[in-house]
A and B are shown apart, each in its own frame.
Chain A
Amino acid sequence: MSEQKDLLVVEDLNVEFDTYGGVVQAVRGVDFRVAAGETLAIVGESGCGKSVTVQSIMGLIPMPPGRITRGSARLRGHEILGQSRIDGREIRGAQIGMIFQDPMTSLNPTMTIGDQIAEPLQVHRGLSRADAAREAIRLLEVTRIPEAAKRAKQYPFEFSGGMLQRAMIAMAIACKPEILIADEPTTALDVTIQAQILDLLQELQAETGMAIVLITHDLGVVARMADSVAVMYAGKVVERGSVDDIFYRSAHPYTLGLRAAMPSNDPALKQSLQPIEGSPPDLFAPPPGCGYAPRCPHAMVVCESQPAETPLAGTGARDHAAHCWLHHDESPMKPAGLFFRESDASRNEKFEGGSAVEEGRNESRR
């Protein structure tokens, strides 16, 4: 995909926080890009830095104690880190909208829903009070809230969790942002309500053409929603690629480990769950090498001392890349189940006669 089509490009983002216990390096060099109209899912476990990543892009990190030590985030080529407006428009709220995990605590309990949606319309679009109130009701209708006019006069406590999340979405899309960042938008909701909200996001995306950055830990939600995926672990992106690359051609042992830890819903096989033993590293003193090395079944000596900077490149239509030493030319093994790039097949004779590649591919397509 060419540079021009990339709406948001994040490069080498580093964020740390001062705490009583020392400096936490929450985000340690994150790269990703989002094209117009696509959905990028950022997947990872709690504490991997996925929320901090998007909060720093939105300028929502309290500084101090937070600090962006390095990196850039460019929206249509304009740097947005440390900026509040580009091209004469506010970034936060107007060009990038955001919804949060817990709608119960992210809305103001003392304002009516209608007033809360009208507020950004008055601030960013300069509408009059009456126009903003009318537009707020229209937005509630767009997000499929029944009896919108009546609901606009109610307070957050009168809404259910699913309805509040719809109101949050109405607020986030009020100024027609080019990107909607959704930070675990359905984690607090039941599956039936989750399905409604995910459908709504897809419909709104089809209507408006906005890009969605979806942060989640649920691989099922990723499979339903995403075009491309970035898998994060210990403050870094360990693998990125199209959704099919990630699910059917997993190239990083952590991605594979996550998939094996979830029950497969194929009735034909009831394999046992393969937990990832151990726990994520302490980001007060992040390991010098790969963050996953202590838990990785294929870890080599080099993994503990040096991070793998060489990504595996170009296996699909979009860049598919994994930060893992196993993909290095001189890696002594190609573990089954992992995907290795096509051109390795010939070179693979040096190692195991090429069979592992085929095996790996079949495994991952099961």
Chain B
Amino acid sequence: MSHEDKQSAAMQSTAMQTPLVKTRELTKYFDMGRGQRVHAVDGVSLAIAEREIVGLVGESGSGKSTFGKTLLGLHDKTAGEVRFRGEALPAHYRAADYQRLAGNMQMIFQDPYSSLNPRMTVGEIVGEGLSLHAHLKSAEVKERVAEWLRRVGLQPDHMSRYPHEFSGGQRQRLGIARALILEPDFVVCDEPISALDVSVQAQVVNLLGELKESMGLTLLFIAHDLSMVRYVSDRMAVMYLGSLVEIGRADELYFDPKHPYTEVLIGSNPEPDPKLERGRPSTAIQGEIPSPVNVPAGCRFANRCPKVMDVCRQVTPQLIPLKELTRQVACHLY
């Protein structure tokens, strides 16, 4: 597909009337006692179209994982709403809500070592969702598990084994099979490849890509590896200290970042090309991400921003669309 084709396809998809998943001012604070609160996610509005892959990047502590979990109801919402196919989801999930939504929305977790119960067999782990939600006979569950193990590149006779008998890449495949066996429409992938070696990352990414094509999945792909996110995603969203600073088409955003933070983030990402690296000035910035307990007034990036202005320290910039690009940026420069 040529660049123009893809661009128009992406514009069509973003212009679609009802996005599959939409958050409006989604907010999650954690109470720390003594009147202190962690502002983990603060007013994030994001729409994800059907069959779209949105990559969410940001430093650790920026709230990406909390956003993904709150979106799925694994954390209660503090404020804001999540709509799935236009239906507003409850702020606090009851057992029946999980039961109802499990077939639509699923999650693939970051750490394939701690997210699989070591005392359950592979058959039990992958098949648990089916036995709980699909009302199938155990023989049918077994059949489906065998089919899914094959689909993710494992053997059906692995069913009686335990997680410790598998390598990291194989465990991540188990996590994928467990999430996808209910054939959900929407999957949050929380750093699905960061615990894996380079050669195995490509295996898992390609597997996700194939399954997305064959099942029509919609994905929120959370990661900190910028090159991989650009490769995987249609659109890319950048998060800093609980709020979105920039959203746009993955390629455009990567090669032409507008927000100073995106620029720093992408400039800090070392490229596997020595000639390019030698010619590139260092974009390292001073300081670290501030604590989300005492969120600074105004723009949250102001104290580290190389282009900071007076207004930045007083007024919080809103995400506004840029005229010439399919891009939204929260910065007073625009």
Binding site for B on A (CB under 8 A): 45-46, 160, 162-163, 190-196, 198-199, 217-224, 226, 243-244, 247-248, 257-259, 261-265, 267, 270, 272-277, 279
Contact = CB atoms under 8 A, between A and B. Distances in A.
B227 A193 contact: no
Interface in B221-276: 224, 226-228, 230-231, 251, 254-255, 264-265, 267-276
A170 B272 CA distance: 28
B200 interface: yes
Most chain B CB within 10 A, of A261, A265, A267, A274, is at A265
A303 B277 CA distance: 35
B5 interface: no
B272 A45 contact: no
Contact of B270 (A162, A221, A244, A247): A221
Interface residues of B, number: 42
Interface string B160-186: 000000010100000000000000000
Contact of B268 (A45, A46, A191, A257): A191
B265 A192 contact: yes
14 contacts: A190-B59, A192-B264, A196-B286, A199-B284, A218-B270, A220-B269, A220-B277, A222-B272, A223-B270, A263-B228, A265-B273, A273-B206, A273-B231, A275-B200
Contacts of A270: 231, 251
Nearest to A246: B274
Contacts of A199: 282, 284
A220 B271 contact: yes
A243 B274 contact: yes
Contact of A219 (B169, B206, B272, B289): B272
Contacts of B271: 220, 223, 265
Given A273-B206, A276-B202, A265 B230 contact: yes
Contacts of A258: 198-199
Most chain A CB within 10 A, of B199, B227, B273, B277, is at B199
Contact of A259 (B224, B272, B277): B272
B265 A162 contact: no
Contacts of B288: 160, 162-163, 192-193
A223 B206 contact: no
Contacts, number: 122
Given A261-B201, A274-B202, A244 B274 contact: yes
A157 B274 CA distance: 36
A223 B277 contact: yes
A190 B230 CA distance: 17
Nearest to A272: B206
Contacts of B270: 191, 194-195, 198, 218, 220-221, 223-224
B104 interface: no
Given A261-B199, A275-B199, 17 more contacts: A190-B60, A192-B265, A193-B59, A194-B268, A195-B282, A199-B282, A218-B270, A226-B274, A243-B274, A248-B274, A257-B199, A265-B227, A270-B231, A270-B251, A275-B201, A275-B206, A276-B199
B219 to A, nearest CB: 16
B273 A223 contact: yes
B203 interface: yes
A267 B251 contact: yes
B283 interface: yes
A191 B269 contact: yes
A277 B203 contact: yes
Contact of A195 (B201, B227, B231, B283): B283
Nearest to B168: A46
B197 interface: yes
Contacts of B198: 45, 217, 219, 258, 261-262
Most chain B CB within 10 A, of A191, A196, A221, A267, is at A191
B9 interface: no
Contacts of A220: 227, 269-272, 277
